[in-house]
Structure 1
Amino acid sequence: GLSPGNYDWAGNSVCLKDSGAIYLQESNLLAGSSATMSDCVEKLRHLLNLNDEDIQKIVYINPQKLLNNS
């Protein structure tokens, strides 16, 4: 991924911090995150003590059901 620093993204000047957070430079408002899906899955697993079956439901099965019903 990108190193911490200033970047242009979607027409905005943003700053990627060491933490992975992305802020708008002009207002210092949170603009997003550079976390990967794997990062998020491991955070969920750790914080909520989820097993592989629960993780699969959250990141694959439930979103797939939602998309198929729309």
Structure 2
Amino acid sequence: MLEIAVFLYGLCAGLVLMIATRNRREARPNPAVVTAMGWGLMSMSSVLALLLATVALAMALGAQGPLLEALAAA
């Protein structure tokens, strides 16, 4: 399941970057859908990075919990 999510994220990110590059090269503004998709991907990436950093910090400080133990075992 994670592989599918990573594939779709990469596909969306590549599409947004390709469209934005082409529009910049042709000196055209980006459509609102591309801009919204880019902001959405950036927001999702930022939130995921903060969540993973929090989990890593909790594990480094020795926090206990069923989710942390499952992550450490994986």
TM norm structure 1? 0.30
Higher strand proportion: 1
Higher helix proportion: 2
Task: Tell me: higher relative CO, structure 1 or 2? Use CA pairs within 8 A at least 6 residues apart.
Answer: 2
Structure of greater Rg: 2
TM norm structure 2? 0.29
